[in-house]
Amino acid sequence: MKTDYKKLISDFIPYIAVVVVIVFFAVVTDGKLLQADNMKNIINKIFSVMLISLGAMFIYAHGAMDLTIGGLLGNCALVGSLIILSTGSVLLALVCIVALGVAIGIINGALAANFKDLSFLPSLCLMFILRGILQYMGNKGTIKIDASYGSYDNVGVKVLVIAIALILTYYLFDYTKLGKYNRAIGGNDIASGQLGINVFKYKVLAYTLTGFAVSIAAFFSMVRSRSISAETGSGLEFDVMVALIFGGMPLSGGSRARFHCAVLGCITATVLSNGMTLWGIKSETISLIKGILFLMLVYLSYKKSKGVLPR
């Protein structure tokens, strides 16, 4: 039985990448990378991206992508802040944030599923709308909430939230129809439809789950930065995309979209970024390095369609 080495390597690359990155930066920063102090940094930095990636991987699994993430996070944080400012109730803010995240998720999903191959179009439009709202509000001045709310930004709670998210999404992705169908749709949406999968429904569910993840991340972002501006959340959708690709997520989705793509990819991307700052590399160099690695990974995990050997 011949082992498919190419497949084995492409499966293992995300694991290798994580280990290499951790070892490299641990050595290069004289171990500072792994100190408790920096662990806290890493957890804070990875929190949003990981949480959202765990949701977004369902979308990437069916071959689409979500460009509204940053704008949605900003708007959720905005709404949350406004509610806290007017009612002082954190609980109410959380409820509203989640409601908003889920609602936008459903709308986003319905639009994207309708546009099929051009699903990025409504996503893009929605992103502009969300960004526009933030810019409009931001022009009135930065919105701030009191420092006392900072107590909700608790590393321990965040670790717990991530742990729950990991377990939950692992279950959903590998052991329920939600994950399997989204991957099937990514593999062949025509066949999926013919086999009785409600393509529309499962796509919308993927976006809804992501919207929910974004809302939770928004809550914690809100209590951590305690100020909302037009720039809040900007670029987050690309951070998620980069992280997933670092983890080996194929942009076309399908069976090669794995759970470990989100987890490993986020770890790799965050440790990379954090490590480089600790090490003291110029920021331009960081962008350059990130770009090169990104290209390499895309190339390595991109599988060209195999030519059919004559039989």
Ranges within 53-112 binding other proteins (CB under 8 A): none
The single residue listed with the structure tokens 């905005």 is: 78
Residues within window 226-285 making contact with other proteins, judged by CB under 8 A: 226-235, 254-256, 274, 277-278, 280, 282-284
Query: Of the two residues 53 and 192, which places its CB atom closer to other proteins in the complex?
Result: 192
Beta bridge partner(s), residue 228: 143
What is the length of the chain? 311
User: Which 43-62 positions form the footprint of other proteins (CB under 8 A)?
Assistant: 44-45, 48
- Count the neighbouring beta carbons within 10 Å of the beta carbon of residue 87: 12
Residue located via tokens 């102090």 = 37
Q: Say how far apart CA 272 and CA 274 lie, in whole Å.
A: 6
Minimum CB distance to other proteins, residue 34 (Å): 6
Asked if 34 interacts with other proteins (CB under 8 A), we say yes
311 binds other proteins (CB under 8 A): yes
In the list 54, 111, 197, 206, the residue contacting other proteins (rule: CB under 8 A) is 197
Stretch that binds other proteins, among 53-61, 155-163, 186-194, 288-296 (CB under 8 A): 186-194
The Cα–Cα gap between 197 and 205 comes to 13
Residues 145-184 that bind other proteins (CB under 8 A): 147, 150, 171, 175-177, 180, 183-184
149 near 84, Cβ under 8 Å? yes
Minimum Å gap between C-beta 111 and other proteins is 22
d(CA 220, CA 217): 5
CB atoms near residue 88 (< 10 Å): 12
- Taking residue 145's Cβ as centre, other Cβ atoms within 10 Å add up to 23
- Name 193's Cβ contacts closer than 8 Å, sequence gap at least 6: 199
**Distance in Å, CB of 24 to other proteins, minimum:** 10
Beta-sheet pairing, 227-228 with 143-144: antiparallel
DSSP 198: -
Nearer to other proteins, 138 or 248 (CB): 138
For the bound state, the minimum distance from the C-beta of residue 133 to other proteins, rounded and expressed in Å, comes to 14
* 31 in contact with other proteins (CB under 8 A): yes
Number of residues interacting with other proteins: please give it, by CB under 8 A. Answer: 79
Residue 114 sits in the site that holds other proteins (CB under 8 A): no
Q: Which stretch binds other proteins (CB under 8 A): 60-68, 96-104, 159-167, 222-230?
A: 222-230
Backbone dihedral angles phi then psi of residue 4, each to the nearest 5 degrees: -80, 90
Q: Does 138 bind other proteins (CB under 8 A)?
A: yes
By CB under 8 A, is residue 127 in contact with other proteins?
no
Taking CB under 8 A as the binding criterion, the range among 89-97, 143-151, 155-163, 240-248 that sits at the site for other proteins is 143-151
Task: Decide: is 198 part of the binding site for other proteins (CB under 8 A).
Answer: yes
First to last CA, the chain: 19
